[in-house]
Amino acid sequence: MSRNVLLLFSLVFSVQVVAIELNHGWTFSPVIGIANPSLDPIYDHIFRAPFRGQSEIVVDLPDDIEGEQTYPVEDFLLQNELEPLGAAPEPGLEMRRRFGLHYDFVIGVSSWEVNSRSTVYAYIPMQGEIDNQALYERRGYFSYMQYYLGLRYLMFPRKKKYNVFLSMTMNELFDIDYREEHVFDFKTGPATNFSRIFIYEAQTTGPLLGQFALGGEIRLTERFSFSFEGGYAFSIRDGKLSSFNMRNDLNDGDRIQSVPQPFGYDFRLGEVVALSPDGRNRESIKLTLDGWRVASKFSVTF
User: What mean pLDDT do residues 115-125 have?
Assistant: 95
pLDDT in tens, 228-260: 999 999 999 999 999 999 999 999 999 999 999
| Paired sense of beta strands 103-123 and 133-154, if any | antiparallel
Question: Residue 45 — φ and ψ, nearest 5°?
Answer: -115, -65
- N- to C-terminal Cα separation, the chain: 31
Q: Is the dihedral of CA 295, 292, 290, 10 positive or negative?
A: negative
Angle at 53 between CA 73 and CA 262, to 5 degrees: 170
Which option is the CATH number for 2-301: 1.10.8.60, 2.40.160.20, 3.40.50.1220, 2.40.110.10?
2.40.160.20
Q: Which helix (H) or strand (E) holds 24?
A: none
pLDDT value for 24: 54
Distance CA 249, CA 105 (A): 51
Q: Whole-prediction pTM value?
A: 0.85
For residue 153, list its beta bridge partners.
103, 166
pLDDT at 159 over 70: yes
- Distance from C-alpha of 156 to C-alpha of 163, rounded to nearest angstrom: 6
**Span 25-73, pLDDT tens digits:** 899 999 999 999 999 989 999 999 999 999 999 876 565 556 567 788 9
Asked if pLDDT for residue 22 goes beyond 60, the answer is no
Q: Of the candidates 254, 296, 261, which has an alpha carbon nearest to the alpha carbon of residue 282?
A: 261
| CB-CB contact of 114 with 89 (8 Å) | no
3 state SS of 88: strand
State yes or no: pLDDT of 12 exceeds 50.
Answer: no
Residue 184 vs residues 60, 86, 262: alpha-carbon distances, Å: 26, 27, 15
